[in-house]
């Protein structure tokens, strides 16, 4: 059963949690400025307290409410990509509670591009802290059907917004250093960000600046083995040799692949296989975020 926008807004105003759709993955949301509400996110997700949350704002929000400094690069990037799957890390302003940012002096901000998330942000007079709506270290849900029962039962509201159009989490770019750096790759690529900023952007592997990017993140229970070629006889094939048009499209198109990836991993887990093979998608910058998620999904510890 799905709740209405109004019901979810009421939950959030009361300091309770709501599962909401975004264009990337479903988020487990709370009032980002209410420390007690945010503490419920950590509790329900089983997330360590030093893993900072993304604060979701309206696309036209005054960022100086949340950030102590808003560099020109941030203005350019929001103009180019918001609302959309780009999160910017900036110096935090004192108004954002320490618990929301994992006690760091920086804050991650993003304006999601989903009509329901945007409508909610319009209805509320506070921003929403929202990590992906999964238990710590498991796969993020991209449909309401893929939501973990425990998370669903602990949320005051759950809004169904259909399948997420992007399917993997936002690109996280840190704008607090000398040089911008990507902390988490996503479907907005380094090349796109470089084109807007006109400067080089650091590689994700460059820095240990991203808290909570454990090598084994986004992982299904099933042990995954990544290889260049998977034969049809091998078990639990996720996206191997294309067997139908749908899979063929996925092998060629990173957007289609990203959109389906997490649902496919969750489906795979339901098959209870000891292990499964995944055929590696092509190389190339447009596949970078997908390779990142597959690598993490296949990490055994």
**Contact positions vs Mg ion (CB under 5 A):** 132
7 binds ligand TXA (CB under 6 A): no
Q: Which two tokens stand for residue 83?
A: 């609302």
Please tell me the distance from the alpha carbon of residue 289 to that of residue 170, in angstroms, as a whole number.
10
Q: Which residue is nearest to ligand TXA (CB)?
A: 131
Which residues make Cβ contacts (< 8 Å) with residue 301, sequence separation at least 6? 216
Judge whether 152 and 19 are in contact, CB under 8 Å: yes
Residue 220 zone, left/alpha/beta (φ > 0; ψ -120 to 50; rest): beta
Which residues within the stretch 94-123 sit at the binding site for ligand TXA (CB under 6 A)? Answer: 101, 104, 106-108, 112
Torsion, CA 44, CA 212, CA 118, CA 62, rounded to 10: 120
| Closest residue to Mg ion, based on beta-carbon distance | 132
Identify the DSSP state of 67: B
In this complex, which beta carbon is closest to Mg ion, that of residue 41 or of residue 118? 41
If one asks whether residue 143 binds ligand TXA (CB under 6 A), the answer comes out as no
45 binds, among ligand TXA, Mg ion, none (CB under 5 to 8 A by kind): none
Say if residues 23 and 84 touch (Cβ distance below 8 Å): yes
| Binding residue (CB under 6 A) for ligand TXA from 83, 84, 127, 131 | 131
Nearest distance in Å: CB 170, ligand TXA: 4
In the complex, minimum distance from the CB of residue 284 to ligand TXA, in angstroms, rounded to a whole number: 22
Contact flags string 171-190 toward ligand TXA, x per CB under 6 A: -x----------xx------
Give the position of tokens 């760091």. 104
Assess 138 for contact with ligand TXA (CB under 6 A): no
Q: Residue 20, SS3? A: strand
d(CA 108, CA 86): 10
| 158 in contact with ligand TXA (CB under 6 A) | no
**Out of 53, 219, 266, 268, the residue judged to bind ligand TXA by CB under 6 A:** 53
10 Å CB burial of residue 103 (0-12, 13-18, 19+) is exposed
Report if residue 44 touches ligand TXA, rule: CB under 6 A: no
Please report, as ranges, the residues that interact with ligand TXA according to CB under 6 A.
22, 24-25, 27, 52-54, 85, 87, 89, 101, 104, 106-108, 112, 130-132, 169-170, 172, 183-184, 210-213
């Amino acid at each position: 059963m799905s709740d209405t926008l109004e019901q979810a807004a009421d939950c959030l105003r009361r300091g309770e949690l709501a599962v909401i759709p975004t264009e990337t993955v479903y988020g487990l949301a709370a009032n980002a400025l209410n420390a007690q509400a945010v503490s419920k996110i950590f509790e329900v997700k089983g997330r360590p307290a030093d893993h900072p949350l993304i604060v979701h704002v309206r696309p036209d929000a005054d960022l100086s409410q949340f950030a102590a400094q808003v560099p020109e690069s941030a203005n350019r990037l929001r103009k180019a990509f918001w609302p959309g799957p780009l999160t910017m890390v900036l110096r935090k302003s004192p108004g954002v509670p320490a618990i929301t940012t994992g006690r760091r002096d920086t804050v991650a901000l993003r304006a999601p591009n989903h009509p329901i998330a945007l409508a909610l942000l319009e209805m509320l007079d506070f921003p929403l802290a929202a990590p992906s709506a999964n238990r710590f270290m498991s796969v993020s849900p991209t449909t309401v059907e893929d939501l973990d029962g425990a998370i669903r039962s602990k949320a005051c509201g759950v809004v169904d917004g259909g399948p997420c159009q992007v399917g993997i989490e936002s690109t996280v770019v840190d704008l607090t250093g000398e040089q911008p750096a990507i902390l988490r790759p996503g479907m907005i690529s380094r090349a796109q960000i470089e084109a807007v900023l006109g400067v080089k952007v650091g590689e994700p592997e460059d820095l240990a600046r991203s808290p909570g990017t454990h090598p084994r993140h986004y992982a299904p229970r099933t042990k995954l083995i990544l290889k260049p070629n998977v034969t049809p006889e091998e078990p639990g094939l996720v996206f191997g040799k294309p067997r139908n048009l749908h899979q063929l499209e996925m092998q060629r198109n990173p957007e289609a692949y990203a959109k389906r990836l997490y649902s496919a991993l969750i489906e795979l887990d339901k098959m209870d296989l000891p292990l499964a093979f995944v055929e590696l998608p092509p190389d190339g910058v447009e596949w970078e975020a997908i390779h990142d998620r597959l690598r993490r999904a296949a990490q055994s510890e």
